[in-house]
Amino acid sequence: MAPLAPSYLDLQISRAINGRILDDTRLRVTTVPHAINSREYDGRPICDGRTSCVPLCSTRARYDAMVHLERAMRLGAVLRTQAVVTRLELDESRNRVTRVHYIRWNSKGDTFTPHPAPPVSAQVVILAANGIENPMILLRSKAANKSGTVGCYLMDHPIKQSVALAPQKLFPFRGPQTTSNIEAFRDGEFRKRYGAFKTSIKNDGWSTNPASLWPRGVAVPAKGQRDDFPGTIVHLVENWGYVGKGLREKLEDHATRQITLNSACEQLPIKENCVTESANLDLAGITRPQIHYRLNKDPYVVGSFNQIVKLHNFVFDSLKIPAQDRYFVSPDAPDALIYGGSGHIMGTTRMGNSVSDSVVTRDCRSHDHRNLFVVGSSVFPTGATANPTSTIAALALRTAAHIVEERKKGSFNS
């Protein structure tokens, strides 16, 4: 499928930086690969650029898991909603998973009522419950953990985000939320010293800026010296007295000049960053996860963030954005306005060749139990810089093909 068309904002940044050098690295704006239709495909329409891909594409031009879930149900798959797996049951030899135990639940207001359900069994059991619940199910089951690494090596993509107001109109809010990025620092000799990163050029203005949640705002900020930051409606009305035509003109001017650069960096797999069982139970009586995660003193990430700030300022310099119109471009600050997470939960049931230091094989098959597979981002041994979804899909396809072949061989027969 052809690439999505770059936005006007993408093209302006391309003209400003393409071919220029930063720290011996040649910069170039490139297309972001997306599971978003650039033409009609599979009964779904072409993207018409509403900039609302997250949390939901209103036209279904953007692929999501419901596409294949609905197909599976049409072919006979049964979807059990409001159901939570509690544990896996193993046979006496502990070579196979024999049954999956789960509960159903319903809720009304503040009342939560769990209901026990009969366990289910199958030739093949596949866990696909993300990087937190996959290890939690295994830990509660005392399963697939001969290596002692279930729950370990938790990773995310730490984010550094900077925003600015350009002197010229860049016209964001067109197209998907990101159509182009700067990938020059995704690999290189520098990775011996600091983490790789890629920088997304955001088409949704300041809407992900946690200081403003532009345009509405969630609180009245301190007035400050200028009306441009955070530039929200509550700020402009309450602090600066904008109303009517003046407010509309201010918002139109502000919205067309907003730019956000969002850089996601590589994080090394560290065993101590992990998911374990908590002593606390949730409302269904299931053990809660306990997250052990440290980032702020990791020199590999800190070094990456310092380089990210250099790139962000380089882009802003190239667009001739004055220093007073740049925000969050300091490399070192303790709060979430500077450091954030992508929510790309990876690791915790890592893939590997050896049962001594990994949980699943290259085909996502448990080293310990021959009919158990674990899929999703939890199998990632490393995280790199790109969003994990396409890799998750590729691994799922490869695992499915492997399961089909193994079933033909009778590998799962008891």
User: Tens digits of per-residue pLDDT, 249-290?
Assistant: 999 999 999 999 999 999 999 999 999 999 999 988 899 999
**In a shared domain, residues 369 and 326:** no
Are 178 and 203 in contact by the 8 Å Cβ rule? The answer is yes
Q: How far is CA 220 from CA 79, 214, 234, 252, in A?
A: 45, 12, 6, 20
Q: For residue 56, tell me if it sits in a domain.
A: yes
Cα Rg of the chain (Å, integer): 24
**In terms of residues, how long is the chain?**
414
Do residues 106 and 140 both lie within one domain?
Answer: yes
Which of 287, 313, 341 represents a domain boundary (last residue)? 341
**DSSP secondary structure string, 186-241?**
SSSGGGGTS--EEEEEESSTTTT-TTT-TTT-SS-----S-SSSS--HHHHHHTT-
Same-domain status, 84 and 223: no
Statement to judge: residues 196 and 226 lie in one domain: yes
Give how many domains the chain has, as a whole number: 3
- Asked whether residue 3 is assigned to any structural domain, the reply reads no
Confidence tier at 242 by pLDDT (50, 70, 90): very high
List the CATH number of the domain containing 202.
3.30.560
Mean predicted confidence (pLDDT) in 4-18: 96
Please check whether residue 414 lies inside any domain of the structure.
Answer: no
| Within a domain: 370 | yes
Please report whether residue 413 resides in a domain: no
pLDDT at 298: 81
334 has pLDDT over 50 = no
Could you give the percent of the chain with pLDDT greater than 70? 97
Closest of 317, 52, 304, 312 to residue 199, by C-alpha: 312
CB 88 within 8 A of CB 138: yes
Q: Which residue has the higher pLDDT, 185 or 213?
A: 185
Q: Are residues 235 and 328 in the same domain?
A: yes
User: Cα 67 to the chain's mean position, in Å?
Assistant: 19
Contact 170, 255 (CB under 8 A): no
Contact between 215 and 221 under an 8 Å Cβ cutoff? The reply is: no
The answer to whether residues 149 and 271 touch, using CB atoms and an 8 Å cutoff, is yes
234 and 176 belong to one structural domain = yes
pLDDT attached to residue 211: 72
Kindly state the DSSP code that residue 139 receives in the 8-state scheme: H
Is residue 39 domain-resident? no
Show the domain range for 63: 44-79
Distance between CA atoms of 66 and 333, rounded to whole angstroms? 39
Question: Are 293 and 354 members of one domain?
Answer: no
Summarised one tens digit per residue, pLDDT across range 230-239 is 999 999 999 9
Query: What is the CATH classification number for the domain harbouring 96?
Result: 3.50.50.60
Residue 2 maps to a domain: no
Statement to judge: residues 315 and 168 lie in one domain: yes
Residues 304 and 366 in one domain: no
Instruction: Using the 3D structure, point to which of 293, 318, 341 is the last residue of a domain.
Output: 341
Task: Compute the half-sphere exposure of residue 292: CA atoms within 13 Å on the CB side of its CA.
Answer: 13
Query: Burial letters for 243-270: b for 16+ Cβ neighbours within 10 Å, e otherwise?
Result: eeeeeeebbeebbbbbbbbbbbbbbebb
Q: Are 319 and 370 in a shared domain? A: no
| Among 295, 324, 341, residue at a domain's last position | 341
Q: Which residue carries 């030739």 as its tokens?
A: 123
Q: How confident is the model at residue 339 (pLDDT cuts 50, 70, 90)?
A: low
Same structural domain, 235 and 313: yes
Q: What is the mean pLDDT of residues 143-153?
A: 97
Q: What are phi and psi for residue 394, nearest 5 degrees?
A: -60, -45
163 lies in the same domain as 205:
yes
